[in-house]
Amino acid sequence: MIRRGGAAALLGALALLAGCTTPPRPVPDLAGRLSVRIDAHDGAPTRSVSSQFELRGDARAGELQLTTMLGTTAGQAQWHPGSAELMTGEGTHQFADLDALALNLFGETLPLTALIDWLRGRAWPEAPSSATADGFEQLGWRIDLSRFAQGWVLAARERAPALSVRVKLDPSQ
């Protein structure tokens, strides 16, 4: 049997421990693995980047966290109308929008605002698209959704330099 003083001390210790815990991160809207490949052109070598990702929000406002395969944060982007911010180990950088951020990051145009909808298996509503046998085309990109039920989204731009984005969404998404 715990005496009154002991019970109060135990409750106080539990409250202190509860106050020290880190609040859980919000569940992402989408999460998985992605790889971006930029083919060689004009003497530049082929470049590729692979990362785990967590996405919260939509093309208008949100957050994207990229982590290495070892679990360390590679970068975090946040955006809202008229502004995008990229935070990396090298500092924080401001951009007019997500597409300007992508151009700076990859040195090539990668429509991140549209990609957010593509990852949800749909065309971005702000630009025309046309249906194909396995998905759709939009903004000069071919979006392959033939394995979307298994969590795969493939996006490819064939004009030089060719770019491809391969995404494997986590099953819980």
11 within some domain: no
Contact at 8 Å (CB) between 30 and 120? yes
Tell me whether strands 91-95 and 129-132 are parallel, antiparallel or unpaired: unpaired
The CATH number assigned to the domain holding 92 equals 2.50.20.10
Q: What is the pLDDT of residue 3?
A: 53
Q: Which residues of 94-132 are buried (b: 16+ CB within 10 A; e: fewer)?
A: ebebbbebbeebeeeebbbbbbbbbbbeebbeeeebeee
pLDDT digits (tens, 9 = 90+) for 75-119: 899 999 999 999 988 899 999 999 899 888 888 889 999 999 999
Percent of the chain at pLDDT > 90 equals 61
Nearest to 135 by CA among 116, 110, 156: 156
151 residue type, one letter: G
Give the integer Cα–Cα distance in Å for 137 and 143.
6
Domain count of the chain?
A: 1
User: The whole model's pTM is what?
Assistant: 0.81
8 within some domain: no
118 within some domain: yes
73 within some domain: yes
Q: Determine the average pLDDT of the residues in 142-169.
A: 96
3 within some domain: no
Range of the domain at 116: 29-169
